[in-house]
Structure 1
């Protein structure tokens, strides 16, 4: 599909998911984004011939780590405004009725300050706490159990690296170590007792300046990372793809380095990548969706899966003020 058509499709309709239950009108190919400046979450239905985009106002102005539970039809996110997990329900109904806002269904207690990401496996929801003065410069991973009516705190872990992105693959948690080019791996993550926990493995990605976004596709064994570079630059960011990831990881020693030769990289002015803070990927279309926070004040960028290192143009770009996270529902 050509770039101009994609851009027009994304921008032209109101406000991106194939049907797992046609009788209920559900779509299972949707993209969700959050913002830390607009007080909105955006849902894009990608199952439509002309994708639709709909934004909803929510009570929290500053949010991160968006996730969608298709079974309960709820958006889950970390509120940096209130320092709680929040759930917003009846998303399908809100889309059908062209609603402009969502009501809070329930929230967790406030057990963290300065959250950066959310990852979900089954009924477990993990939240990162990034260090700042208000939390005594403590980096944490907190585990909640989601029920039909709330979130219950199960575990409170401290870690010795600055938090940002996380991704759960079953009982394995991958995390980015902010201010570095390092990735950490926790195997049997949910088996840890409360308190300080140590990664199973930590490794450096050669050439990665400052890691933020992380996504692992088990379907095609592909790890995708983002590099925000210098926080004040809107043009030095990048996208890194590591194919055959589990084999590459096994061949990399603890505290070792994944070399440039094992990476496919997108960097350069044509990419519009400056501060790409989050990333997700569709293994069927092989499209990569990036939350670019700084360039233009915030953009949702779409890239075709790169096959060679280059300065690639996004196949689609949509302005989205303060975009902070992105999540794809794909069945």
Structure 2
């Protein structure tokens, strides 16, 4: 039921699953020697040798009468990798940030759970959920994501409705919108490129909504169609559904009579976007050799389809290859895995660890510059976020009002959700605000967003925040407590972090290198703490290396006060911004540290841009509190002088050394942080 384009999703490669033992977060690889040891014995091919599949991670959610509600993580050949429960039991998807989202009907009202580290998590790891009477959940089943809107579409089976829920919300919150249907829905497939939604209904029909995100389903379905096969038999009870955008085709599963284990069907529908009325299936699979009895869900992966067959002989995953080239009929699946009552499936192609979405490495990427403004707690712009074109050709434009008394640093995850640290000067009102789909929003909404705050969080004066999407973590530089705090990206409310020691030196910002598995932390005493093998030990025992920027083997004289920090993987270079004295408007600097992955101790900088102190300052660097880099150009949030600066070709232009002016500047009200926001 994960109906997102697979190319947009992120997860750890299945063959390099890391054992992540994180105190307090419990992010790790669960043991695979549970009740699943025997279900791999039921593997069978459909003849002609073992099929070959594109490397992927397959998530199979069970929902058996015996109480098995496990999610089983498997490879593309359905070999078992991991097993856990989330507290839900129905439809699943895996989002671009690598989080598993699952609907459930176990409680009085049902729930929607988001669980981080989809591939490697353990039962009991950090999660957040939407649950309670305000949700109006009534036996929720299939789900799909609208990432650009920060919404999850829920097939609310018990009430003949679709519910649009905030993807980052937690608690007893209501839907953003409710869409009435003519029949109960079981599953949904959303095509974001065309903004079209397909709804599989249990009366045998498919409801189609055009401009769904734009209109939120107002006015009902634009059209509805039913299906007949080549024997002129009509569709009865549609469940699983998925859409092939490349060929404009739907694949739909028909359970038939729920009590029958041999009347299931699988349909292929051509020209799906314009289907209306009664449609004849281009291909139909049915008959005893198919083992289709209650095919409750399916998932396309290119031209292959995996099917959750819930009822037939206790349940199985059935896999047909090249589904659009087959003639159908009573044909056995190419691969069969007997497994307890599978309810839902999600498939994520294998991918390598990648930088965070704001750590752009290709300057050709389309993006805008996103900044926070923070002149003083409670001031007019202190909770606002602004955007600029990368050219800095015009003044910052208001993009979002967080309604926080003091917005500090902002970053984004791969789903476009924003994480904003805030600190209004009190220990009781500091924390992290998580905003769903920032680019599509104007204001904070408690029904769509959530807050992490409270005594357990240790958040007193949080500054820089870094997302390690593939680890499912957010990393916070806690300046007031002189420590780094690591939270699950699924944290909510008064959550406790893992504490990483900085040697009692206050940090200001950090940057994580997923390829090298190193966390770099900018410290306010002018040094950089490097934590190697970060995913393995979470910085236990303190930093592995301390990098001291120097010139000709001598450390720079005080005051040195590092704030912004970015790592460029392609050149193995750290770029750091030094505020110097926070009260001075002309003693800031920008520096590079070459061979950062191995640098330790006194390290001569590669280049340094700074005021020479002779009254001829051209740099405009006073308090460069944050930086952003696109692989070519460096952007600087210069707070005390009220500027956003850009330094073109910063690493490669030999002229950008010493007392030189930035390439361009634009005025901004006390910019506090700066990131690059992909468009």
2:196 maps to 172
Compute the displacement of 1:149 (Å): 7.0
Deviation at 1:177, TM superposition (A): 1.8
Deviation at 1:59, TM superposition (A): 5.0
Task: Check whether the contact 1:59–1:104 (CA below 8 A) recurs between aligned residues.
Answer: no
Q: In the alignment, what sits opposite 2:385?
A: none
Report whether the alignment pairs 1:80 with 2:105: yes
- Larger mean Cα displacement after TM superposition, 272-281 or 79-88: 79-88
Q: Say whether the 8 Å CA contact 1:88–1:102 is kept in structure 2.
A: no
Distance 2:101 2:10 in 1: 21
Superposed CA deviations along residues 262-310 of structure 1, whole A, max 9, x for unmatched, are 4201000000000001111111xx2210000100111111112152131
CA distance in 1 between counterparts of 2:106 and 2:292 reads: 27
Contact 2:86–2:115 under 8 Å retained in 1: no
Aligned counterparts, 1:41-190, within 5 A: 41-46=71-76, 52-58=79-85, 60=87, 63-71=89-97, 73-82=98-107, 83-94=110-121, 101-110=123-132, 111=135, 112-122=137-147, 123-131=150-158, 138-147=159-168, 153-170=175-192, 171-178=195-202, 180-190=203-213
TM-score computed with the length of structure 1 as normaliser: 0.78
Q: Which moved more, 1:289-298 or 1:102-111?
A: 102-111
> Partner of 2:222 in structure 1?
200
Structure with bigger strand share is 1
| 1:41 Cα deviation after fit | 0.4
Partner of 1:269: 288
Give the distance between the partners of 2:186 and 2:348, measured in 1 at CA.
Answer: 21
d(CA) in 2 for partners of 1:164, 1:323: 15
How far 1:89 moved relative to its partner?
A: 1.1
Contact 1:19 1:28 in 2 (8 A): no
Tell me, what secondary structure is at the counterpart of 1:296?
A: helix
| Alpha-carbon distance in 2 for matches of 1:54, 1:102 | 18
Aligned counterpart, 1:214: 241
Change (3 A) 1:193 1:229: closer
Q: Give 1:316's match in structure 2, choosing from 335, 348, 365.
A: 335
In the alignment, the residues of structure 2 paired with residue 67 and residue 321 of structure 1 have an alpha-carbon distance, to the nearest angstrom, of 19
1:307 aligns with 2:337: no
User: Matches of 1:91 and 1:77 in 2, distance apart?
Assistant: 11
Aligned to 2:473: none
User: Contact conserved, 1:267 with 1:273, CA < 8 A, in 2?
Assistant: yes
Q: 1:92 to 1:227 in 2, by over 3 A?
A: closer
Q: Tell me the CA shift for residue 67 of structure 1.
A: 0.6
Secondary structure (helix, strand or coil) at the match of 1:324 reads: strand
Tell me the number of residue pairs that the alignment of Structure 1 and Structure 2 aligns: 286
- How far does residue 142 in structure 1 lie from its aligned partner after superposition? 0.8
Q: Which whole-Å CA distance do the structure 2 matches of 1:152 and 1:29 have between them?
A: 35
Is 2:69 the partner of 1:39?
A: yes
Separation of aligned partners in 2, 1:279 and 1:193: 25
C-alpha RMSD over aligned residues: 2.8
State yes or no: 1:258 paired with 2:279. yes
Give the alignment partner of residue 241 of structure 1, picking from 268, 271, 295.
Answer: 268
SS in 1 for 2:329: coil
User: RCO greater where, 1 or 2, for CA within 8 Å and sep 6 or more?
Assistant: 1
Q: Does 1:191 align with 2:214?
A: yes
Alpha-carbon separation, structure 2, partners of 1:229 and 1:235: 9
Q: Is the 8 A contact 2:78 2:337 kept in 1?
A: no
> Shift of residue 244 of structure 1?
4.2
Measure how far apart 1:25 and its partner are. Answer: 4.5
Query: Which of these two proteins has the greater Rg computed from alpha carbons?
Result: 2
Tell me the CA shift for residue 162 of structure 1.
Answer: 1.3
- 1:108 aligned counterpart, secondary structure: strand
Contact kept in structure 1, 2:86 and 2:113, CA below 8 Å? no
Q: State the Cα distance separating 1:318 from its structure 2 match.
A: 1.0
C-alpha separation between the residues in 2 aligned to 1:39 and 1:323? 9
Tell me, in whole angstroms, the C-alpha distance in 2 between the residues paired with 1:113 and 1:181. 20
**CA distance in 1 between partners of 2:10 and 2:114 (Å):** 23
TM-score by length of 2: 0.39
> Cα gap change, 1:19/1:326 in structure 2, threshold over 3 Å: closer, same or farther?
closer
The answer as to whether partners of 1:290 and 1:302 remain within 8 angstroms in 2 is: yes
Gaps of 5+ in 1: 1-16, 132-137
Alignment CA distance shift 1:219-1:57 (3 Å):
same
2:120, 2:242 → 1: CA distance? 29
1:113 and 1:298 map into 2 onto residues whose CA distance is 25
SS at structure 1 position matched to 2:200: strand
Unaligned 5+ runs, structure 2: 1-6, 18-53, 229-233, 351-679
